[in-house]
Chains A and B, each alone.
Chain A
């Protein structure tokens, strides 16, 4: 059987090469699998109905939200740092054209990479970070671990240590930093002196050079000046006033 040939059906010209091609076998296999699955489900549903029970899909039975959810996704942890809402303040950004309409895609404002969503105000953005959608996208559950007395004690002692260290660091810093500062300033002063000395030396050398050069070139210059004087009627641009 010969297929009727259309205008675009000429493979040689490559007119239709831009079209997507599909792996027909793979999709046929998928369709067959789906048919089998659906037939099985229909049968189960029918049997459940005959037995007078409510049919519950197997996928839901297997993933009990209370237990299996905790395996791979972790519980919410409190924020360690502030959300940096003024990160892009006073910065110029190039934004692709046509992204301002919907929320999807990066545009002006606050952008959530995990969910590929864009928000135009900070409150919306923070609310999104707290939302179930974002938690799902970042592999978190929507619960927080409940603290025990032990955890509270541990945290409190840790905070106390932190505070003590901070206090100590502040005290220690002052004298040390003053000494460091003085050292740096001394160094800078020395360097400045050295630079000045080198500069002076250079200037002196250059002066000496120019003096020798002009004395060498003086004869040549005089010839040029004489030529110019003959041509233009005056000897040069310097004053001719006799002192």
Chain B
């Protein structure tokens, strides 16, 4: 890994086919985002002013300031969330740094941001293993769409990431379903996060039955 990063994505988007930097899914990371939205991001004020010259540490400053997630809003403006995703694709942070991001408890938008990046960049089995524990995070998050704000939750968003093809106006890389991966023995069967709660409830119900 080089010791320096670039302040913007200009050099990585060289159109002459000379790209020789790090790759994700054996392609230029920035190309994981469609051309249209990528260009809208690069033309946006947030990208030029706020996202310029960040590295994996200073990106945190912007991530904790996030107020909503989403792809494009209003008149097809890219959200700061999607701008930071592009920034992370450009920075290509190390695995440990991403785990640090996603495991942090205090900042929910940082977790969601890191989860989205992990879904974009990591191999399928690891995506499932890393993201499924956060289905137990029920905190509210704001989703901004073309037509306004919507309420969603961290667990709902993670589920979308694992099951949907398009999230936040971005086509996610194709990923086999959990069942397929289990058949290939790449994943163990999922342990339900709510098993304890369910058994408690059952006990409670039984107790009520007894009382009746």
Docked complex: B1-57 residues within 8 A CB-CB of A: 1-8, 45, 48-50, 52-57
A126:B48 contact, CB within 8 angstroms: yes
A78:B53 contact, CB within 8 angstroms: yes
B53:A83 contact, CB within 8 angstroms: no
A147:B58 contact, CB within 8 angstroms: yes
A143-B6 contact in complex given A79-B50, A127-B48, A155-B57, C-beta closer than 8 Å: yes
A145:B4 contact, CB within 8 angstroms: yes
Cα–Cα, bound, A149→B2 (Å): 14
A142-B106 contact in complex given A78-B55, A79-B49, C-beta closer than 8 Å: no
Write out, one digit per residue, whether chain B residues 134-158 have a CB within 8 A of any chain A CB (1) or not (0).
Answer: 0000000000000000000000000
Give the segment of A22-30, A93-101, A156-164, A218-226 that binds chain B. Answer: A156-164
Cα–Cα, bound, A76→B55 (Å): 10
Query: Who on chain A is nearest to B98 by CB?
Result: A152
Cα–Cα, bound, A127→B3 (Å): 25
Report chain B residues within 8 Å CB of A147.
55-58, 93, 97
Cα–Cα, bound, A118→B64 (Å): 34
Cα–Cα, bound, A127→B49 (Å): 8
Report chain B residues within 8 Å CB of A127.
48
B positions within 8 Å CB-CB of A: 1-8, 45, 48-50, 52-58, 60-61, 64, 93-94, 96-97, 100-101, 104, 106-107
A151 at the interface (CB under 8 A from B): yes
Interface centre among B4, B5, B57, B104 (most CB of A within 10 A): B57
A78-B58 contact in complex given A142-B7, A156-B100, C-beta closer than 8 Å: yes
Write out, one digit per residue, whether chain A residues 120-158 have a CB within 8 A of any chain B CB (1) or not (0).
Answer: 001100110010000000000011111101011111100
Interface centre among A79, A82, A122 (most CB of B within 10 A): A79
Query: Who on chain B is nearest to A163 by CB?
Result: B106
A-B contact pairs, 30 of them (CB 8 A): A77-B58, A78-B53, A78-B54, A78-B58, A79-B50, A79-B53, A123-B48, A126-B48, A127-B48, A130-B8, A130-B48, A130-B52, A142-B6, A144-B4, A144-B7, A144-B53, A145-B3, A145-B5, A146-B1, A146-B2, A147-B57, A149-B94, A152-B57, A152-B60, A152-B97, A156-B100, A156-B104, A159-B61, A159-B107, A163-B64
Query: Who on chain B is nearest to A70 by CB?
Result: B4
Report chain B residues within 8 Å CB of A123.
45, 48
A117 at the interface (CB under 8 A from B): no
Report chain A residues within 8 Å CB of B101.
152
B56:A146 contact, CB within 8 angstroms: yes
* Size class of the A contact interface (CB-based, 8 Å): 20 to 34
Chain B nearest CB from A119 CB (Å) reads 13
A112 at the interface (CB under 8 A from B): no
Cα–Cα, bound, A177→B101 (Å): 37
A149:B104 contact, CB within 8 angstroms: no
B53:A149 contact, CB within 8 angstroms: no
Interface centre among A75, A79, A144, A155 (most CB of B within 10 A): A144
Report chain A residues within 8 Å CB of B54.
78, 144
Chain A nearest CB from B41 CB (Å) reads 14
Excluding A146-B3, A159-B60, 12 further A-B contacts by CB distance (< 8 Å) are: A78-B52, A79-B49, A79-B50, A123-B45, A123-B48, A130-B48, A142-B7, A144-B53, A146-B2, A146-B55, A147-B93, A152-B56
Cα–Cα, bound, A155→B57 (Å): 6
Query: Who on chain B is nearest to A158 by CB?
Result: B60
A155:B7 contact, CB within 8 angstroms: no
Cα–Cα, bound, A130→B48 (Å): 8
Chain B nearest CB from A79 CB (Å) reads 7
Report chain B residues within 8 Å CB of A144.
4-7, 53-55
Cross-chain contact of A83 among B49, B57, B60, B107 (Cβ < 8 A): B49
Chain A nearest CB from B43 CB (Å) reads 8
Listed from nearest, the 8 A-B pairs whose CB atoms lie closest are A78-B58, A147-B57, A147-B56, A143-B4, A147-B55, A151-B57, A155-B57, A144-B5
